[in-house]
């Protein structure tokens, strides 16, 4: 598992489902989540009005923990835990951090 389907900004005003987009790396203080549901917020569709080409869109998600990073955590996360959270989608600094994808890697720890 190294690629996924994700909604990615192509250019100003246009996003497209990309079938082979890279999965965000599991950071030491993060969990890898198989996304089961997302919410659409004004920030998601307004992101298309910013030049964030190559970024995954989406902020809110819910899903199942698949892996846990090795860094410090504030809670004992385990594979199979159900979680909900938010990430900074359409983020030029971390282009794969959006939630409109099959997998997210987020700092819920």
Q: How many structural domains are present in the chain?
A: 1
Tell me, what DSSP letter sits at residue 71?
S
Residue 109: pLDDT over 80: no
Measure the CA–CA gap between 86 and 107, rounded to whole angstroms: 9
What is the full DSSP assignment across the chain?
--EEEEEEEEETTEEEEEEEEEPPP--TT-EEEEEEEEE--HHHHHGGGS--TTPBP--EEEEEEEEE-SS--SS---TT-EEEEE---S-TTSTT--SSBSEEEE---
User: What CATH number did the domain enclosing 23 receive?
Assistant: 3.90.180.10
Residue 106 confidence class, pLDDT cut points 50, 70, 90: confident
Please write the tens of the pLDDT for every residue from 75-87. 788 999 999 999 9
The whole model's pTM is what? 0.89
Boundaries of domain holding 79: 3-106
How many other CB atoms are found less than 10 A from the CB of residue 90? 23
């Amino acid at each position: 598992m190294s690629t996924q389907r994700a909604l990615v900004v192509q250019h100003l005003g246009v996003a497209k489902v990309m079938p082979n987009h890279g999965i965000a790396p599991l950071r030491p203080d993060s969990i890898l989540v198989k996304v089961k549901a997302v919410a659409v917020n004004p920030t998601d569709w307004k992101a298309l009005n910013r030049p964030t080409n190559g970024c995954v869109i989406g902020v809110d998600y819910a899903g199942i923990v698949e892996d846990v990073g090795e860094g410090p955590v504030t809670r004992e996360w385990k594979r199979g835990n159900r979680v909900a959270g938010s990430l900074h989608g359409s983020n030029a600094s971390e282009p794969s951090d959006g939630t409109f994808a099959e997998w997210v890697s987020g700092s819920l720890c």
